[in-house]
Structure formats: structure tokens, C-alpha cells
Amino acid sequence: MLTLFIVTVSAYVLGMLAALFSGRSAIGRGLVAAGAAVGSIAGLALGVVVITSGIPFALASTRFLPLTGVALRLDGMGAFFLVVVGLVGCAASIYGFGYSAQYAGRYSLRTLGVMLNLLLLTLTFQVMADNALTFLVLWEAMSLTAYWLVVTEHDQRGTVRAGVWYLAMTHAGFAALIAMFLLLSSTDLTTSFASMRAGSALLSPAARNAVFLLALFGFGAKSGIIPLHVWLPMAHPVAPSHVSAILSGVVIKMGIYGLLRILLDIMGGGPAWWGGVVLGAGAVSALLGVLYALMEHDLKRLLAYHSVENIGIILMGMGAGLIFHSYGLMTLAALGFISGLYHTINHASFKGLLFLGAGSVLHATRTRNMEEMGGLIKIMPWTALFFLVGAAAISALPPLNGFASEWLVFQSLLGGSNIPTPEVAIVMPIAVGMLALTSGLAAACFVKAFGITFLAIPRSPEAEHAHESPRPMLAGMALLALACIALGLAPFVVVPALGRVLVGLGGLPDTHAVFSFNLYLVTPSNFAIMSPTLVALGLLAVLGLVPLVMLLFRANWRLRVGDSWGCGRVGQTPRMEYTATAFAEPLRRVFAELYRPTKELSIDFHPDSKYFVQSIEYRSEITPWFEKALYGPLLWFIRLSAATVRRMQSGSVHMYLVYVTVALLILLLIARWS
């Protein structure tokens, strides 16, 4: 294990050095990517070793980093998140080798390479942090490196603004986290997690509730729970695509890691209302995330809103787990947490894949706007295939990984029938309904995303002259596509591993033998049984049989290519195709109460006659509720306070001398009376 750790760290450091000294050339980019990829793979291997062996990896840092208060320890849960880091990091780095070629000469490849490796390095250490100080320092380092990566393309519209929002939100969360750790560790930030675990039982209920709320705020700001999500659709689209994959796939999962670590591990669970709040926040995030995603036609913004949705689904699993835990239903609680963790790694793989795919499309067509794409499936067949795998996975279609984890989340919510108090139990069916609606809407959204982007005819010259992605980019996408398929076909391997990861946290029993055997997934008391592997085999078998039977019965095999049937019209232009806005229009109408679309219509009539129209301009936007109702007043208030305080900065030396004198007098008075 120690060798793997050293390989990981040195690979990242070498990657950073390569970026510093030869970032611009192709070899330099290759070394950067290689460093990041090797580091990721080694980290992934380390995580797998820790999970399968069950032995935590502790680094006696007091020997070579004495007095710094740094403590590092990798237990099962940290190892799982390290696997997530490694998986997405490896694919994104390989992809980045091809993708960053377009930045040569325009933006600083040095910064990009250094920050990429540094981000992955801080993520690796983050999941190993064993005391509050280490955790917080690494958290801040992770946020800052992510910020630098987000503003890589600094002269594009909206990038710097997105970076500022990102920085502000992450620091607001950071403040909450500092307060939380101060409460947990009774103001000594170098107490290890182990002693915090022991001490948490002694905290007063008010303090525990405060910790819960601060943790939810702080980690929620990082994960993008509604209403703390506003930075996500701004920051993730403007970042370079392989960075977007890491941000959406890994960095926001650190919020989940933090919540699990604090709520389950250190605090050992809490009253049922904690789980209820988490479940509610998750359900609302999931539903609102997908509803806003439906209305987007910027491909990467759509994917960013889907990240909000999937974080919501993960939190629904975790919330259910917390509720069951508070009632002592330990097996069901383990099921809830396992479903949340499974969805974590699944989302990392399919969202990473989708962002890499979107990056390939952006690379080929120079636009993120879906309304200008089309017909790319014939020009970029491999990219289209990988994107289709990601789209099918995120829509929870069997037999891919999205279905396996959503099935588990459903089953854990269905276990709500075992909750003794009916008032709490009734929350579960409502959550089931919301999850089902989310899942259906996600499928609709990805029919739109894949269909408008890749199918039919190109809608703009840029789309016509697109090209297939270079091979490193295809390799990165292929890796994640394979991960999606593997995670979907082998849940009976993943679920016991997750069961082992959760052993002992918050008193959860060892469930690695309970939830799966042979090829099947089983839920407690045989409530449900399912096998995605056999489903996949069955589907393939039937798929293969159907053409054979048709051949046997001598069906007509002739095929002719002609024009699309358009009621006999002569010629077809891209203007005749369906657009993304049109595709989402029925849903826009159905949910009009939420979207409150505004409408602007201006018609230019011919100067001579009102019966002839020269031009019509139609503009419709959905009302951004959270920005208007929540952040608008907040920002107004901050500006108002800042303006008030600024009046103190009068510029006059006399006033400043008065301030100094008054402050001195007050200090003397305080010293006199204490």
C-alpha cells in the first residue's frame, strides 16, 4: 500500500513539474497527462486494495511532517472515494492530452497542467484527511485549484463571472465547515477524527443539530444542493471539458464524502428529522435540477443541471439510510447508504463520460449550443456511440449502471413500509413518486440532448464541417463507457464491496453477504430480487434470435435509401427539423407554473401597409427563481452593507486619526475592566 501511495504522489508531482517546465509542447502535454493518469490509476489501485483487504492505510506523518498537525488515514469509505477519483481522473487526463492541444498559444497550458495534477493530488489527500485541520486545508486547496481550472478560458464571456460565483459559494460553505469543525473538536482543530467520534456522543443535542445544519450547508454548497446550486450551471460549462468531467464527477462528490464522514461516521447518525431533511433536500434538488435541465439548450449547462439532479438522487438514498438508521433498522439503513454510494460512482462514470462527449462536440463544432448541431452521428460515430452509452446510463435504462443504482434507491425507499411511525413512513411514497418523475424527465431530456445534437441533419456550417475526435479523447471516453457497462453488469461485485466499506460506520453491521449472491441483487427479507447481468444476457439473446428467425421465415431483406418523407415537399433544409426548444415545449407548458416563461414579441411592419411584416422577433426566457428571489436580495443587502461601511473610508487623515484614538480608548477601557 505504501508503494502505491508513493507512486500516486510522485506521479502527480512529476506531472506538475512537467507542466511547469515543458507545458507547451506536445511532449509536455503528454507527460502532464501521463503523470495524472498514472497517479490516478495508482490511487485507484490503492483504494481497491484497502477495500478488499479491509485494512485501513495509515500514514505516520508525525515522522516526516512533525508539528504540522497533518494526519492522514485511508479507511474503507475514503478508499471508495479514492477509486472514484482514480476512475474519472484517469479518463479525464488521457482525454485532456488530446483536448488541451487547442489551448496551445491561447491560454496557459502550464497553469492547466499544474492545476490538473494539483487538483487530483489534493483530492487524493482529501479522502485521507484524519483531522479537522488537514481536512480544511485540503478542502480550501481543492477549491482554489478548481477555481484556477474553471477560469482557464478567461477571455470567454461569462467565465470570470462564473469563477467569482464559484469562489464565493465555496467559501461561504467553507466558513460553515470551519464553524462545524470547531464545534465538533471543541476548538482544537488537530483532534483526530477518532477522538471526535468518541466526543460527539457527549455533545448537547443543540450542538449536534447545529453540526448537522452547518454540515448540510457547507457540504451542500460544494455538492450543489438546491438552493446552493447556482454556481454549478455557471462554472461547470465554462471549464475545459476534461476539467468539467472531474468537477462534476469527483469534486462535487467530496460534499457527499463530507456528509457521510460527519453524519454517519463521526456523529454516528442522528434523529429521524435529519434523514428527513436530507431526503427532502435530495428530492427537491433532483426534481428541480432535471426540470431546469430540460429547458437548457447549452449542452454543458444541461449536463451541469443533471449533476444537481443526480446529487439529489444520491442524497435521497442517504436520507433514507439516515431515517432507517435512526429507527434502528440497520440492514435497511445499510441498503440506503449503499444505494447512495453506488449512485455516486455510477454518476461519476456516466457524467464524466457525458462531459467528455460534450467536450468532443465542442472541440469539433466550436459551439455549445445544441440548436446549431445535428447530424454528428455520421461524422463522429465513436463519440456519438459513447455519448449514447452515457445518455442511456443516466436515463436509468437497463442493463447499464444507472438502472442498477436507481433500482437500489427505489428499493431502499420502498423499505419505508417498515418504519413504525406512519407520519414519517408517508414521506417515502412521495419520495418514490418524485424519484420516478425525475427519472422519466431525465430520459426525456437525454432524448433531446442526444437526438438534437447527433441525429438528423447539421443545422449550421460548423456542424457540417465537424470532425471525429482525436484518439486520446476517444480513449478517455471509451474507458468511462466500459466502466458504465461493467458497473451495470456486475453490481453483485460492487454491492458487497460497498457493504464492506460501510462496516462499523455509525454501527452499521457487515452486510457484504446480505445484498447479493451469485448474479443477483437481493434486498432485505427477500423484498425484491433482480439480476442486471441476466437481463443483459437475455436481451442480447433475444436481439440475436429475432433476425435469425426472420431470415428463417424468409422475410424480405431488401433495403432502399430515399429522401425523408415530408409530404412530397421538394428538398429538405435544416430549418425543417425539430429544434431543442420545440422538443422541450410540451414540458415547458406543463410546468409553466414553475418556469413562468416570459415572452417578448416585437413585429416590424412594412412602412406602407400593416398587412405585410418585415421581421418578427420572439424572445422567451424562463424565470430564474433562485437568482431572483434568493440571491438577488442577498447580493443587494451585501452591496448595501458594503456601501454603508465604505462611508467610513473617507480619505481624510483626520478621520483616521479619530478612529485610531477611539479604538485605543476602547482597548484601554476593556483592559481596565477585565
Partner 1 sequence: MEADIAIIVRQIDERARRLFGRSLHIREVDAGSCNGCELEISALANPYYDMERFGLHFVASPRHADCLLVTGPVTRNMAEPLRRTYEATPNPKIVIAIGDCANTCGVFKDSYAVVGGVDQVIPVNVFVPGCPPEPVDILQGILSAINRLPAK
Partner 2 sequence: MSGYFLEIGQALVALALAPGLVGFVRWWKARLQGRRGAPPLLPYYDLRKLFLKEVIISNNASWLFRFTPYLVFSSTLAVTLLIPLVAAPLPFDRIGDLLLVVYLLLLGTFFLALAGLDPGTAFGGMGASREMTVAAIAEPTIALSIFGLALGAGSTNLGRIVEQTLAHPGAAISPGHLLGFAALFIVMLAETGRLPVDNPSTHLELTMIHEAMTLEYSGRYLALIEWAAGLRLLIFFSLLVNMFTPWGVATSLTPAALGLAVIVLISKLAALGLLVALLETRIAKLRLFRVPELLAVSFVLALLAVTSSFLLR
How many CA atoms within 13 Å lie on the side-chain side of 165? 19
What's the min distance (Å) between Cβ of 570 and partner 1? 6
What distance in Å separates the CA atoms of residue 466 and residue 375, rounded to the nearest whole number? 10
DSSP state of 469: P
**In contact, 382 and 474? CB cutoff 8 Å:** yes
What's the min distance (Å) between Cβ of 578 and partner 1? 17
What's the min distance (Å) between Cβ of 365 and partner 1? 31
Query: In angstroms, what is the C-alpha Rg of the chain?
Result: 27
Q: Which does 570 bind (CB under 5 to 8 A by kind): partner 2, partner 1, none?
A: partner 1
What distance in Å separates the CA atoms of residue 84 and residue 248, rounded to the nearest whole number? 12
Choice between 255 and 458, CB closer to partner 2: 458
Contact pattern for partner 1 over residues 488 through 507, marking x by CB under 8 A = --------------------
501: cell is: 466499506
Task: Choose, by CB under 8 A, the member of 206, 549, 552, 567 that binds partner 1.
Answer: 567
**In contact, 477 and 95? CB cutoff 8 Å:** yes
Task: Choose, by CB under 8 A, the member of 63, 157, 554, 560 that binds partner 1.
Answer: 560
Q: Which listed range, 99-107, 191-199, 563-571, 641-649, lies at the site for partner 1 (CB under 8 A)?
A: 563-571
Q: Which listed range, 146-154, 472-480, 562-570, 592-600, lies at the site for partner 1 (CB under 8 A)?
A: 562-570
Choice between 146 and 413, CB closer to partner 2: 413
What's the min distance (Å) between Cβ of 240 and partner 2? 29
Sign of CA dihedral 386, 391, 394, 400: negative
**In contact, 233 and 304? CB cutoff 8 Å:** yes
| Angstrom distances, CA of residue 327 to CA of 202, 269, 283, 317, 562 | 20, 10, 21, 16, 64
Choice between 269 and 458, CB closer to partner 2: 458
Q: Which listed range, 327-335, 506-514, 560-568, 585-593, lies at the site for partner 1 (CB under 8 A)?
A: 560-568
Q: Which does 673 bind (CB under 5 to 8 A by kind): partner 2, partner 1, none?
A: none
Q: Which does 452 bind (CB under 5 to 8 A by kind): partner 2, partner 1, none?
A: partner 2
48: cell is: 481497491
260: cell is: 457521510
Q: What string of DSSP letters covers 271-330?
A: -HHHHHHHHHHHHHHHHHHHHHHHT--BHHHHHHHHHHHHHHHHHHHHHHHHHHHHTT-H
Task: Choose, by CB under 8 A, the member of 205, 544, 568, 651 that binds partner 1.
Answer: 568
Choice between 198 and 555, CB closer to partner 1: 555
Choice between 561 and 643, CB closer to partner 1: 561
What distance in Å separates the CA atoms of residue 259 and residue 177, rounded to the nearest whole number? 11
Number of shown-chain residues binding partner 1 (CB under 8 A): 9
Task: Choose, by CB under 8 A, the member of 64, 553, 557, 565 that binds partner 1.
Answer: 565
Choice between 106 and 569, CB closer to partner 1: 569
What's the min distance (Å) between Cβ of 420 and partner 2? 12
What's the min distance (Å) between Cβ of 405 and partner 2? 12
Task: Choose, by CB under 8 A, the member of 471, 569, 589, 596 that binds partner 1.
Answer: 569
Q: What string of DSSP letters covers 611-655?
A: TSEEEEEEEEE---HIIIIIIHHHHHHHHHHHHHHHTT----HHH
Q: Which does 374 bind (CB under 5 to 8 A by kind): partner 2, partner 1, none?
A: partner 2
Q: Is residue 562 a contact point for partner 1 (CB under 8 A)?
A: yes
554: cell is: 424468409
Q: Which does 569 bind (CB under 5 to 8 A by kind): partner 1, partner 2, none?
A: partner 1
Task: Choose, by CB under 8 A, the member of 201, 206, 552, 570 that binds partner 1.
Answer: 570
Q: Is residue 572 a contact point for partner 1 (CB under 8 A)?
A: no
Choice between 80 and 450, CB closer to partner 2: 450
What distance in Å separates the CA atoms of residue 296 and residue 370, rounded to the nearest whole number? 9
What's the min distance (Å) between Cβ of 553 and partner 1? 15
Other C-beta atoms lying within 10 Å of the C-beta of residue 523: 23
What's the min distance (Å) between Cβ of 399 and partner 1? 32
Choice between 272 and 441, CB closer to partner 2: 441
Choice between 422 and 568, CB closer to partner 1: 568
Q: Nearest to residue 114, comparing CAs of 105, 124, 122? A: 122
Q: Which listed range, 59-67, 452-460, 567-575, 582-590, lies at the site for partner 1 (CB under 8 A)?
A: 567-575
Other C-beta atoms lying within 10 Å of the C-beta of residue 136: 17
575: cell is: 430549418
Main-chain dihedrals φ then ψ at residue 369, nearest 5 degrees: -80, 120
What distance in Å separates the CA atoms of residue 79 and residue 144, rounded to the nearest whole number? 23
Binding site for partner 1 (CB under 8 A): 558, 560, 562-563, 565, 567-570
